[in-house]
Chains A and B, each alone.
Chain A
């Protein structure tokens, strides 16, 4: 009887947790129709002479749309993921002064294949999160992409410093990338992380099928 009571209590707790999870999920849903119509309105509130502001808002919208609509788990053309990364990096550059340099290289070969959406994004986010903040030396993020012998090659490098920062260590971003890679490209990928006192480097190779 005692066990039965405990079981019932546990089941009640599970039901409650499930309801809470669902509620949180629903709260996190924002109506895309509202979002993009609002962005459109703000876009036209900006004087057309202010092309930089309109352009930045447009890029931001493209990023949001990609996030909202490419979450279905379907692979996307690599060009779309690249466009997203470029928008992200340009907006990051916009927020920083000229002590920070953002570089993006992509060879001609990187096109015409599909990849998992938003797979590379956490790596880029991570680089910006841990970038150095030197006063008199350059601070850099550099991305390179290539395709050779059926392999997609992604490299990212950022300058770093060993000073204490407000960013929490723990690297949940990289952990997530590892987990996703194991699920999505089992036995078909290689993730290498190297770090020195000055630099943080990530290399990702994916065998394209």
Chain B
């Protein structure tokens, strides 16, 4: 598998160089290139970009601000003219920072971090799917939860609440970790703070999903994408 990589940099020669490096790296492939972040949003939200090479200082919006604005950001490697320690970028969870001018050697080191990230994710997923349950820590004990018990998952600041038909479990986890752990075929992120089990949905009205007595919002700018995924091959209608 090759990691689909997107380049965003306002300077053509900087993009040309990164393209050259991506082509020369066996496990990367170019998903596209843009000279401005705002043009990239559509491609990124389609979910096909697996790695982002993002310049920081650009005319309309900085790479950092842009990255923070993304709903479902792919792993990112920042490229910048500033020395690493001068960056506030450490607050966003970047895989790496490449300081310009960028040597191939240094680029490859960063690319390997992306490779490791995906290998680990794949292993977790493979192991996660081997059973039909998992454990979480809640109220200082470990509790077993079956995938098919879950109705939806809600993000609450530093915690995550997992709702089942009978009760809810609060656990100290990041929302992103849960999102990555749950099998994507059964669970869908419909909002920046909600993941739902597709099979548990009772009805959808406007931007509101109902599961039993619960109302779950669909994020407005993801509505189309969410509906497409939920209804794929499952929408019986008069053509």
Chain A interface residues toward B at CB < 8 A: 32-33, 35-37, 39-45, 48, 54-55, 57-58, 61, 65, 69
Task: Say whether A61 contacts B101, CB under 8 Å.
Answer: yes
CB neighbors of A among B119-134 (8 A): none
Task: Say whether A41 contacts B82, CB under 8 Å.
Answer: no
Can you list 19 residue pairs at the A/B interface with Cβ under 8 Å?
A32-B81, A33-B81, A35-B81, A36-B101, A37-B81, A40-B11, A40-B101, A40-B102, A43-B101, A43-B102, A44-B13, A44-B20, A54-B103, A58-B101, A58-B103, A61-B100, A61-B101, A65-B83, A69-B83
Task: Say whether B13 contacts A40, CB under 8 Å.
Answer: yes
Task: Say whether A39 contacts B100, CB under 8 Å.
Answer: yes
Given contacts A37-B100, A48-B20, A55-B103, 9 further A-B contacts (CB under 8 A): A36-B81, A36-B100, A37-B81, A40-B100, A43-B17, A44-B16, A48-B24, A57-B101, A69-B83
In the complex, what residue of chain B is closest to A47 when comparing beta carbons? Answer: B20
In the bound assembly, the distance between CA atoms of A63 and B16 in angstroms comes to: 25
Task: Say whether A44 contacts B14, CB under 8 Å.
Answer: yes
In the bound assembly, the distance between CA atoms of A41 and B81 in angstroms comes to: 11
B25 located at the interface, meaning its Cβ lies under 8 Å from any Cβ of chain A in the complex: no
In the bound assembly, the distance between CA atoms of A200 and B148 in angstroms comes to: 81
Q: How far is the CB of A76 from chain B (nearest CB, A)?
A: 12
- Known contacts A58-B101, A69-B83; A37/B20 CB under 8 A: no
Total contacts A to B, CB within 8 angstroms?
Answer: 54
Q: Chain A: interface secondary structure?
A: helix
Q: Chain B: interface secondary structure?
A: loop
B57 located at the interface, meaning its Cβ lies under 8 Å from any Cβ of chain A in the complex: yes
Task: Say whether A41 contacts B11, CB under 8 Å.
Answer: yes
CB neighbours (8 Å) of A33 from chain B are 57, 81-82
CB neighbours (8 Å) of A32 from chain B are 81-82
In the complex, what residue of chain B is closest to A57 when comparing beta carbons? Answer: B101
CB neighbours (8 Å) of A55 from chain B are 103
In the bound assembly, the distance between CA atoms of A44 and B13 in angstroms comes to: 6
CB neighbours (8 Å) of A42 from chain B are 101
In the complex, what residue of chain A is closest to B18 when comparing beta carbons? Answer: A44
Over the window 59-83 of chain B, the binary record of Cβ atoms lying under 8 Å from chain A Cβ atoms (1 yes, 0 no) is: 0000000000000000000000111
CB neighbours (8 Å) of A57 from chain B are 101
Q: How far is the CB of B103 from chain A (nearest CB, A)?
A: 5
Q: How far is the CB of A91 from chain B (nearest CB, A)?
A: 15
Top 10 A-B pairs, shortest CB-CB distance: A44-B17, A40-B100, A36-B81, A43-B101, A41-B13, A40-B101, A44-B13, A39-B101, A33-B81, A37-B81
- Known contacts A54-B103, A57-B101, A58-B101; A41/B57 CB under 8 A: no
Return the contact of A40 from the options B17, B82, B83 (Cβ within 8 A): B17
